Structure 1
Amino acid sequence: MRPSSPPGWYGKLPGSGDFMRRRLPENVVSRWSHWFSSGMQRIGAQAEPQLQRAPVWNFVVPASLGAPWVQMGCLLPARDRVGRQYPICAMQLCAPEAWHPLRLKLAGDWYYRLGKTLSQAVHNRYSGDQLDAALLALDAPAMPPGTPRSDVLDIIGYDDAPDTLNWPKLASFFDPEQYSSFWWSNQSDGSAFYTHSHSGNFTSQLFFRLFDPLSSHQGLHTPMFGKHLQGRGDES
């Protein structure tokens, strides 16, 4: 297995007073920043208590949506030192030419640990340095071989490699050069299992879907929490 760089991250933390960012390029951060800011503006203060009840989300995003990398990671609602709410995300980047479905299929334990680390950082009021140290201490996700075949997988078979994700078969749905991103609950925080697929750029509808499902009374979309979506989730 090839070594992997530690995840980068962006957002706010209760132990700090402003936006923080480590190991993510500008074109990735600007895209997430715009989505977070526009989503928070639309949610407004009246929906903030509901936002804080949102689960930790896993995601995998293709390389065709404004940044030349596949993005695998987690996000959850957070806040800064004075209580201003804003999400935080952490992710691993992968060039599409280096992509293999096994990269996602074998990443279940890594997603779980990453989500748990982010959740602990928010609830225990980590500083940026504390979160970064915790992320640097994480084991890298299992990586597919650098060549089309490997001795181990020749024995057990590529199709028979263990699917470690809590969303089985997701690796077969995801295409790094198409336009669908996939979102599913991490469950390290004890939340139920939810899934969602979204086509195209990040939108306010997607933000509300993940962070404010009760806004359906405003006609934005149907509620999601409390609903176990199977297969490919529901398309936006």
Structure 2
Amino acid sequence: MDDVTAAAAPQPPALFSTTAGFFGKVVSNGDFVSRRLPPALVGIWDAWLQAGLQASRELLGARWLDVYLTSPVWRFALAPGACDEHAWAGVLMPSVDRVGRHFPLTIAAGAPGGAALPDWLATGQDWFAQAEALALSTLEEGFLLERFDRAVQALAPLPDAPLAGQADAAHWRVELPSFVALAGMGPQVTAAALRGHSLWWTEGSSEVAPSLLMCRGLPTAEMFGGMLAGAWPAAVSPCT
């Protein structure tokens, strides 16, 4: 086989793991830590966070560090198409490494289908609470990365089901066994409508009111100042 043929040979798709992982900074290590999240996702996530951090520094100026250190934990659910082709859920928390470089810690788990995303919001708050507690545990004295890693791996997999329709479909149709079955279609319709969007919610902080965000894709870099300090850009429309 020549080099051209070898280079063009298709590669088998990587198996998708539903085991939770993490990415970011922790106080015990002097560099980034990452476990089990796909490299492509980490690359997108890292670039998004770097842009948001830079924009928030420019917005907040000398206040940035104090605001960052007291900013809230955000829980999130990403529908397929918001970040990559899979659905993701997790928590995002301000953190710092051993030498004082500030960068958030993310704990996340994925689901290749994404149709169960409405169920994550309706019945999955215990899962999010466990993930948030694990993130906060990284700030405790005596934190050990490997013990933390085992605890993250022990998070239950997210419920999942295939999402109706094609990823780029503007219209889709589902067979109804009876007209009465329409009453049970709410979660499936919601999941399809959320395709390409992300949801973010927080209990807030001294600077940020308890909030729910819905974004097409990931929040913009300009929105990051709002997530840290409640300084929302005009493009964020309030729902009343």
Q: Give the TM-score, by structure 2 length.
A: 0.68
Write the letter of the residue equivalent to 2:195: Q
Whether the aligned pair in 2 keeps the contact of 1:50 and 1:211 (CA below 8 Å) is yes
The CA deviation at 1:7 is: 0.8
2:46 aligns with 33
Mapped contact 2:200–2:213 kept (Cα < 8 A): yes
> 1:32-181 counterparts in 2 under 5 A?
32-44=45-57, 46=62, 47-96=64-113, 99=116, 101-124=118-141, 126-138=143-155, 140=156, 143=159, 174-175=191-192, 178-181=195-198
Question: Residues 98 and 62 of structure 1: is their aligned pair in 2 closer, same or farther, counting only changes over 3 Å?
Answer: closer
Q: Which amino acid aligns with 1:26?
A: P
Q: Secondary structure at the match of 2:104?
A: strand
Taking structure 1 as reference, are residues 192 and 174 closer, same or farther at Cα in structure 2, changes over 3 Å only? farther
Evaluate the alpha carbon distance shift between residue 85 and residue 175 of structure 1 in structure 2; reply closer, same or farther with a 3 A threshold. Answer: farther
Instruction: Look up the SS of the partner of 1:92 in the other structure.
Output: strand
Q: Deviations over 1:40-98 (max 9, x none)?
A: 22333730110111111110011113411101111110000011110011111011366
Q: 1:210, 1:52 → 2: CA distance?
A: 12
* 1:119–1:5 Cα change, 3 Å: same
Measure, in 2, the Cα distance between the counterparts of 1:234 and 1:123. 36
SS at match of 2:133: helix
Match of 2:26 in 1: 13
**8 Å Cα contact 2:111-2:158 kept in structure 1:** no
For the 8 Å contact 1:73–1:92, the answer to whether it is kept is yes
- Cα distance change on mapping 1:123 and 1:203 into 2, 3 Å: farther
Q: Which runs of 4+ in 1 moved over 6 A?
A: 169-172
Which one-letter code corresponds to 2:45 in the other structure? W
User: Where in structure 2 are the equivalents of 1:195-234 lying within 5 Å?
Assistant: 195-214=212-231, 220-221=233-234, 234=238
AA partner of residue 24 (structure 1) = L
- Say if 2:24 and 2:106, in contact at 8 Å, map to a contact too: yes
Alignment partners' CA distance in 1, 2:69 and 2:191: 29
Cα distance in structure 2, aligned partners of 1:192 and 1:42: 20
RMSD of aligned alpha carbons: 3.5
Q: Percent identity?
A: 24
C-alpha distance in 2 between matches for 1:65 and 1:101:
15
CA distance, structure 2, for counterparts of residue 141 and residue 54 of structure 1: 28
Shift, 1:173, TM fit: 5.1
* Letter paired with 2:90: G
